[in-house]
Amino acid sequence: MPRDSGSDQPQKREHWASKAGFIMAAAGSAVGLGNVWKFPYMAGENGGGAFVMVYLPIVFTIGISILLAELIIGRAAQKDPVGSFRVLRGRAWPLVGFLGILAGFLILSFYSVVAGWTVAFAAKMATGMLNGQGADPAAVFGSFISSPMQPLLYACGFMVVAVVVVLGGIRRGIERANLVLMPLLFVILVALVGRSLTLPGAMEGFTFFVTPDFSKVTGATFTAALGQAFFSLSVGLGAMITYGSYLDHKQNIGRSASSVVGLDTVAALLAGLVLFPAVFAFGVDPGAGPGLAFVTLPSVFAQMPAGQIFGTLFFVLLSIAALTSAVSLMEPVVAYFMDQHGFGRTQIVIATGVAAFVLGIPSSLSMGIWSDATLFGMGFLDLIAFVTSSIMLPVGGLLIALFVGWVMGSRAIAELKGNGDTPPALARAWLFILRFVAPAAIAWILIKELIS
């Protein structure tokens, strides 16, 4: 095992080269499949605007508060998630870091499978396999994800690219990739919104997305919106603790957190503005579930002028979004083994990539030859996705809120105010949310989920 742990030489820790670089990296983590693939279909299944009306308040109270809490922990401790809790408090708290690292690793395993689908679909779109004469997107999607080998090859290719980025380290790898990819992502997204909103009949989809139908709001809407908020903001597992640990004390961290949440929300809303006008313009069902982006949308692109180009762009967009998120799922694991066990970056990045790919194999096969192997009625991929985003992230978020709210308390406020210009009322509201609102809301939703 290599030495040079660096754990007692904090001055050697790499830091983001610029504020913009950090914001792009954190936004890159947040903006992912969760925004472009999952958010629109969840909104589609939960009454469109009604879901949005529940989702947004959760994001701007609980979500942003926990994101900020994670950044504060990481910046204060300058360590990986486990090490951060150790430095700040010790006792049982580092377990929260372990739980998070495990969740990140599990998410990475299935995330790279779905990301592989998006890369494959970019290729299929570009080569006309999805919108040629008589092409049937549902059949293409079904036979692709259920075939044993092909999706694994794409998942492997995707993982290799993520590994290459993380191998480059913070500045030369993660920051540089995000500084290029995130602006590109927003350009593509805006171009697609333009295309979608100018389709004849687009208004109906727009209306569906912005008009809340409150009769569709049930307890389940809150559970779905909370899980989605955690997943979309990348909180509850220490990814933001890790990114925060590469910050120095010069930045106004509150403002950075707001930018990240703002960009994540804008990306999700723009993705909705791509999907729904297009889906309604061609009279297809917005409540198609996970197939919305892979089946419904390609059938729309097939009928649209220049659909092949816009369709390819859409899947390139999804692939970029997935890559910058996958990188942030890998980094906490890498940081943990580097900070706590003295591994070198190269070894541990490669080991993490290989291990996550291997764990992804049953997820991929659960869409096809292993689809009969279910637990609680869910296949492997669905089960891991459920356990992580509906249980592990909310539990992690709850504990992080309690830690910063009660254990760090005034120290957290001091960290936040470090650079002077955070309004005291805002800082107090933040602490109040962390102490009472977030724990109560998360606990309530978790309990309801368990007894239902």
Q: Which residues bind ligand PHE (CB under 6 A)?
A: 29-30, 32-35, 107, 231-232, 234, 237, 239, 325, 328-329
How far apart are CB 213 and ligand PHE at their closest, in Å?
Answer: 25
How far CA 275 is from CA of 130, 209, 322, in Å, comes to: 17, 10, 18
Residue 19 in tokens? 């504020």
Q: Which is nearer to ligand PHE, 33 or 170 (CB)?
A: 33
Residue 95 in tokens? 């377990």
How far apart are CB 140 and ligand PHE at their closest, in Å?
Answer: 24
Q: Which is nearer to ligand PHE, 223 or 234 (CB)?
A: 234
- Would you list the DSSP string of 80-93? -HHHHHHHHT-TTT
Q: Which is nearer to ligand PHE, 54 or 323 (CB)?
A: 323
**In terms of C-beta density within 10 A (0-12 exposed, 13-18 middle, 19 or more buried), how is residue 214 classed?**
exposed
Q: Are 98 and 82 a contacting pair, CB within 8 Å? A: yes
How far apart are CB 247 and ligand PHE at their closest, in Å?
Answer: 17
How far apart are CB 329 and ligand PHE at their closest, in Å?
Answer: 5
- Binning the chain into helix, strand and coil, the percentages to the nearest 5 are 75, 0, 20
Query: Which residues pair with residue 212 across a beta bridge?
Result: 48
Q: Which is nearer to ligand PHE, 49 or 396 (CB)?
A: 396
Q: Cα 280 vs. chain centroid, distance in angstroms?
A: 27
Task: Select from 368, 379, 314, 347 the least CA-distant residue to 1.
Answer: 347
Name 171's Cβ contacts closer than 8 Å, sequence gap at least 6: 14, 15, 16, 17, 21
Q: Which is nearer to ligand PHE, 59 or 145 (CB)?
A: 59
Residue by residue, what is the 3-state secondary structure of 13-74? CCCCCCHHHHHHHHHHHHCCHHHHHHHHHHHHHCCEHHHHHHHHHHHHHHHHHHHHHHHHHH
Q: Which is nearer to ligand PHE, 78 or 265 (CB)?
A: 265
Q: Which is nearer to ligand PHE, 32 or 49 (CB)?
A: 32
Q: Which is nearer to ligand PHE, 308 or 324 (CB)?
A: 324
Q: Are 63 and 230 a contacting pair, CB within 8 Å? A: yes
How far apart are CB 32 and ligand PHE at their closest, in Å?
Answer: 2
Q: Which is nearer to ligand PHE, 232 or 256 (CB)?
A: 232
Q: Which is nearer to ligand PHE, 202 or 320 (CB)?
A: 320
The single-letter code of the amino acid at 426 is L
How far apart are CB 418 and ligand PHE at their closest, in Å?
Answer: 26
How far apart are CB 115 and ligand PHE at their closest, in Å?
Answer: 9
Q: Are 232 and 388 a contacting pair, CB within 8 Å? A: no
How far apart are CB 1 and ligand PHE at their closest, in Å?
Answer: 28
Q: Which is nearer to ligand PHE, 186 or 206 (CB)?
A: 186
Work out the angle at residue 224's Cα, subtended by the Cα atoms of residues 397 and 99, and round it to the nearest 5 degrees. Answer: 30
How far apart are CB 306 and ligand PHE at their closest, in Å?
Answer: 28
Q: Are 159 and 357 a contacting pair, CB within 8 Å? A: yes
Place of tokens 């495990």: 102
Name the phi and psi angles at 376, rounded to 5: 50, 35
How far apart are CB 302 and ligand PHE at their closest, in Å?
Answer: 26
